Amino acid sequence: MLKETGWNLDYSYTRLPETFYTRTNPTPVQSPKLIKLNESLATSLGLNPESLKSEDMVSVFAGNDIPKGASPLAQAYAGHQFGHPNMLGDGRAVLLGEQLAPNDERFDIQLKGSGRTPYSRGGDGRAALGPMLREYIISEAMHALRIPTTRSLAVVSTGELIQRETALPGAILTRVAASHLRVGTFEYAARYTEKEELKALADYTIKRHYPHIEGVEKPYLLLLKEVAMRQAKLISQWQLVGFIHGVMNTDNMTISGETIDYGPCAFMNEYDPSTVFSSIDRQGRYAYGNQPNIGGWNLARFAETLLPLIHDNQDEAVKMAQDEITNYINQYQRNWIEGMRAKLGIFNAEEEDKSLVEDLLNMMQKHRGDFTNTFRSLTYEEYGEHALFNSTEFSEWSDKWKARRKRQNQSNDDSQQLMKDSNPAVIPRNHRVEEALEAAGKGDYTVLERLVQVLSNPFDHDNIQEEYCKLPESTNIPYQTFCGT
């Protein structure tokens, strides 16, 4: 079965000291049924999509059967949750192994919602169908938006009910990631293990994700630098499409630079830096406008774990690490303004560009302009009747913008093409996601299938479905998202 399906599993994580994981099997479920299979992802992993639909493989996705030779495990990690440190770990997930793809890349294959583990902390270890389908939709949309992300290979229903506020149908998601190493993994090592185990984890991380720094001088300082640069790029990409993660705890910041955990995330409609969707983020710690700074805060926690490896003198280690955190802030700003220039069709750099962008954002906030549709309107210079575009201040801003674009060598056509490539026509609008999940809860998956198809080509302005660009009907009830546990 494995040969026909294309599985080529390895288990490099088990070569770490055993303190970093506990071997544990998924808990079998009653009557698994395949709900969604990501065929394009399967193919890229070297898997046979048709074979994955077999009853035997659905049993594997459900945790009822284990691939021959596999040794599932739950990973140990800690983390700062809303600023407070906790001992955590995979409380409802097991790592089946690492798929070696045809391009020689290595990907974790993890079952999420597969039952209790030694790290469950009183939880049931299960997941509901709605949140797992939500993760499928959003993670695939993020991939199409060219934002580094974990991805979803399959969703199976379990035939069982789980208890949340009400009884909900259970499901298990098969998550694919460059790895599940997190800042929280290093926090666990620094807090609960010895220096040698911490060093083993750092060496493993370098070998897996940053092999170009193996054997160089100051490799652990360079590890901090590399992780910081990837996070600076990632979070700037979130900001450029109005994505709000919702729960930027340190256990949800990957060392690989991928977006992970799609619980209370959502995309912003009206531009407002204070936007929060998560029901548990009552103080706005993880609001849209706070995400870049929280990224720096999380990286500071990562840097603290590496201090014993960076330099024997702690004061010197702190100084070196602080320099890299400052570099993160500067790199984020460079990435963000570069991305904003592209969204405005600007190729070259001028010092006044930041104020041009900030003036636009201030107008958007004042006039409640939709983030995605405002930039789409600018792309085509088709403004409609929105108050933003009919204001005197926008007219003045538009004259400055046009004059700015003339101060570059590229043509107007080149500028518009850059904007088309930088401004998605569609995003996973919250009301569209909810619509798809509501239909799926009633057994109708056609709404979800159509949404996923539209979101797979977000920059396809010619064939876009206009209905997916429309805003939801106005309501006085704020949209809220939930973590699923």
Residue pLDDT, tens place only, 217-254: 999 999 999 999 999 999 999 999 999 999 999 999 99
Residue 396 lies in a domain: no
Q: How confident is the model at residue 169 (pLDDT cuts 50, 70, 90)?
A: very high
Q: Across the chain, what does the average pLDDT equal?
A: 95
Residue 349 lies in a domain: no
End-of-domain residue from the set 296, 314, 341: 341
Domain identity same for 272 and 306: yes
pLDDT tens column, 132-160: 999 999 999 999 999 999 999 999 999 99
Q: Where are the beta strands (DSSP E) in 327-479?
A: none
Token pair 């660009």: residue: 469
End-of-domain residue from the set 180, 195, 225: 180
- Whether the per-residue pLDDT at 484 is higher than 70: the answer is no
| Percentage of residues of the chain with pLDDT beyond 70 | 98
Q: Which of 20-24, 41-45, 385-389 has the least mean pLDDT? A: 385-389
Q: What pLDDT is recorded for position 478?
A: 67
Q: What pLDDT is recorded for position 68?
A: 79
End-of-domain residue from the set 273, 308, 341: 341
Domain identity same for 144 and 204: no
Residue 470 amino acid letter: K
pLDDT tens column, 424-479: 999 999 999 999 999 999 999 999 999 999 999 999 988 878 899 999 887 666 66
CA-closest candidate to residue 111, choices 189, 26, 181: 26
- Cα(112)–Cα(229) distance, rounded to whole angstroms? 29
Q: What is the mean pLDDT of residues 157-184?
A: 96
Maximum alpha-carbon separation in the chain: 69
Domain identity same for 234 and 329: yes
Domain identity same for 171 and 227: no
Tally Cβ neighbours within 10 Å of residue 114. 31
Domain identity same for 167 and 191: no
Q: How many structural domains are present in the chain?
A: 2
pLDDT tens column, 299-328: 999 999 999 999 999 999 999 999 999 999
Domain identity same for 172 and 188: no
Q: How confident is the model at residue 483 (pLDDT cuts 50, 70, 90)?
A: low
* pTM given for the model: 0.95
Residue 246 lies in a domain: yes
Q: What is the mean pLDDT of residues 397-419?
A: 97
Exposed, middle or buried by CB within 10 Å (0-12, 13-18, 19+), for 359? middle
Q: What pLDDT is recorded for position 464?
A: 77
Candidate list 65, 90, 108, 251, residue with the active-site label = 251
Residue 19 amino acid letter: T
Q: What pLDDT is recorded for position 466?
A: 87
- Whether the per-residue pLDDT at 1 is higher than 60: the answer is no
Domain identity same for 106 and 203: no
Residue 207 lies in a domain: yes
Domain identity same for 121 and 246: no
Residue 243 lies in a domain: yes
Q: How confident is the model at residue 92 (pLDDT cuts 50, 70, 90)?
A: very high
Residue 155 lies in a domain: yes
Q: What pLDDT is recorded for position 456?
A: 97
Q: What pLDDT is recorded for position 165?
A: 87
- Cα(473)–Cα(471) distance, rounded to whole angstroms? 7
Question: Does the active-site annotation cover 251?
Answer: yes
Token pair 């995400």: residue: 291
Domain enclosing residue 37, as ranges = 2-180
pLDDT tens column, 111-136: 999 999 999 998 999 999 999 999 99
Domain identity same for 218 and 280: yes
Q: What pLDDT is recorded for position 282?
A: 86
Q: What is the 3-state secondary structure (H, E, C) of 231-248?
A: HHHHHHHHHHHCEECCCC
pLDDT tens column, 331-359: 999 999 999 999 999 999 999 999 999 99
Instruction: Please give the angle made by the CA atoms of 372, 175 and 135, to the nearest 5 degrees.
Output: 35
Q: What is the mean pLDDT of residues 205-209?
A: 98
Q: What pLDDT is recorded for position 2?
A: 55
CA-closest candidate to residue 422, choices 237, 280, 270, 247: 237
Domain identity same for 240 and 129: no
Locate 312 and state its tokens: 């024997």
Residue 368 lies in a domain: no
Locate 382 and state its tokens: 């088709």
- Whether the per-residue pLDDT at 278 is higher than 90: the answer is no
Looking at residue 479, what DSSP letter applies? P
Q: Which of 7-16, 95-104, 173-182, 462-471 has the least mean pLDDT? A: 462-471
Domain identity same for 147 and 249: no
Residue 436 lies in a domain: no
Domain identity same for 236 and 210: yes
CB 220 within 8 A of CB 202: yes
Radius of gyration of the chain (CA): 23
